[in-house]
Amino acid sequence: MELNKYSSRLTQVRSQVGSRAMLYATGLKEEDFDKPQIGIASMGWDGNPCNMHLNELAELVKNGVVDASMIGYVFHTIGVSDGISMGTTGMKYSLQSRDIIADSIETVAAAQWYDGVIALPGCDKNMPGSVMAMARLNRPSIMVYGGTIRPGNFHSNKLDIVSAFEAWGQYVTKKIDEDELDDVLKHACPGAGACGGMYTANTMASAIETIGLSLPYSSSIPATSDDKREECVRAGAAMKTLLEKELTPDKILTRKAFENAITVVIALGGSTNAVLHLLAMAHSAGVELDIDDFQRFSDKTPFLADLKPSGKFVMEDLYDVGGVPAVQKLLLKEGFLHGDCLTVTGKTMEENLEELPGLKEGQTIISPVSEPIKKTGHLSILYGNLAEEGAVAKITGKEGTHFKGTARVFNSEEESLQGISDGKVQSGDVVIIRYEGPKGGPGMREMLSVTSAIMGAGLGNDVALITDGRFSGGTHGFVVGHITPEAQTGGLIALVEDGDTVSIDAVENRIEVDISDAEIARRRKNWNPPAYKAKRGALFKYIRNVSSASQGCVTDA
């Protein structure tokens, strides 16, 4: 069988003289022209711990590709560091970077006729962006996750990036001083790797490994470990198998595989961003999935993992007790997963797991299914007059299931942070942060600075926060995001005023503001949508193209 189905369009067609001349210049010899060509998409760049080691890993991937008698071409795409841009207008570029990554990998691989793609992503948006491109291209593909960061150690406390955000809340409320704050910042991120708790990067890597597009353990192997380097080299041989079996993403990205991913995200207590990203990945793959599917699986999947942000442990700890495959093995045994889904090993999930160990005896990170942290999932899809097209809540149970309070309205993240510093937010308030939606923000910033300030200020159990923006995987507390329709497009969230009563019911899955129809009509008459915040450039294009949060914020609908 010919493995160079795509690249042969350049290498085997006599008239493609320009192609052949230029390929000679890249170092190919005559005997290389019938080898498959693999595009290696590195999201490496120096300025972000999640990504700063990826170019080096890409060279290891290339070695593995060459060892398997194929040609490897490393190319690059962009990234945004959520951790670095958080709390600033820079974060408006974060979500759209997912679609730029997808577009750029699709562009290079399609234009250059690569026979397969191996992607090396690190930070949050890199993983879904890579998979969206793989689905669109539908050529054999493997994602090698850049890996999780190790925890920082300080006075025998395990620190991570969220420790830094929460330290700020402690500092402004005078619980720690300047020196203690500095110590946290200096120790929070000890090297390369994506944020260490079950935050968005580790959530998406776990979801994608479960879907079957990464080799087993990819999501839990730490970034700086020898195991990660070894995984990179192994990807070449795995790619060869995929080419031989013609195992394309459409055979892996099935409805059942997405159901498995949702189940694992819920068992692990993963980021609310998984809702957006899995919807977008399903859209690229042509798989039917909607936000209500998340409720269906949340209703029947137990929340098991004592991982940060709501728990104690980090991804490296999970790796030490068996990693994501051991969690899959438990869930498969208990009947929560479809074992017959194909993966990039060329085998099914069940076949992969047969050869792999289960959770280590005596471990305390993953609860048994009979004694979960919470019987049902932490993700809820809420509806009501405040979210006629849906909203996503993260309720781990520690915060309770109902909240009724007084609206404290802010028209941006900055306003809300100022409000908290000024002591405007008090126990019993429902903090509303609006005009932060996909079009209004634009770009649905993550409200991690705000939720961490609330936590750090000790208000975590006493206030709720709702927004048409989104949350970091590091956010915990009583929070509802992705409110759709967003304020910018006239959702009722735009008409709420200070002092209104808002109720959130995470049992009945409702989110309502108590205003009469007559009052709503009166307020609506006086409301005009504010001007878009971008008038040209990338964010303007984003505003024009982006779909709602309930549709995954895709830009090609």
Ligand X SMILES: CC(C)(O)[C@@H](O)C(=O)O
CB of 11 or CB of 81, closer to ligand X: 81
Residues that bind ligand X (CB under 6 A): 82-83, 86, 124, 161-162, 195, 199-201, 271, 273, 446, 448, 472-474
What's 461's DSSP letter? Answer: T
Whole-angstrom distance, CA of residue 55 vs CA of residue 105 = 16
Binding residues: 50, 82, 124-125, 446
147, 148, 118, 123: which is closest to 133 by C-alpha? 118
Paired with 464 in beta bridges are 430, 478
- Smallest distance, ligand X to C-beta of residue 165, A: 8
- Smallest distance, ligand X to C-beta of residue 211, A: 19
Can you give the C-alpha Rg of the chain in angstroms? 23
Annotated catalytic, 104? no
CB of 117 or CB of 465, closer to ligand X: 465
- Smallest distance, Mg ion to C-beta of residue 200, A: 4
- Smallest distance, ligand X to C-beta of residue 168, A: 13
Paired with 465 in beta bridges are 431, 479
Binding residues for Mg(2+): 82, 124-125, 446
Task: State the binding partner of 469 from Mg ion, ligand X, none, CB within 5 to 8 A by kind.
Answer: none
Whole-angstrom distance, CA of residue 507 vs CA of residue 509 = 5
CB of 39 or CB of 196, closer to ligand X: 196
Residues that bind Mg ion (CB under 5 A): 82, 124, 200, 472
CB of 193 or CB of 216, closer to ligand X: 193
- Smallest distance, ligand X to C-beta of residue 271, A: 5
Stretch (H or E) spanning 327: helix 323-333
* Contact in structure between 509 and 292 (CB atoms under 8 Å): no
Stretch (H or E) spanning 540: helix 537-545
Whole-angstrom distance, CA of residue 389 vs CA of residue 436 = 16
Given 8, 94, 97, 472, the catalytic residue: 472
How far CA 533 is from CA of 411, 499, 540, in Å, comes to 13, 27, 8
Binding residues for [2Fe-2S] cluster: 50
CB of 28 or CB of 181, closer to ligand X: 181
Whole-angstrom distance, CA of residue 343 vs CA of residue 339 = 10
Say what the alpha-carbon torsion angle 46, 52, 57, 58 is, to the nearest 10 degrees.
-40
Task: State the binding partner of 195 from Mg ion, ligand X, none, CB within 5 to 8 A by kind.
Answer: ligand X
- Which residues participate in catalysis according to the annotation? 472
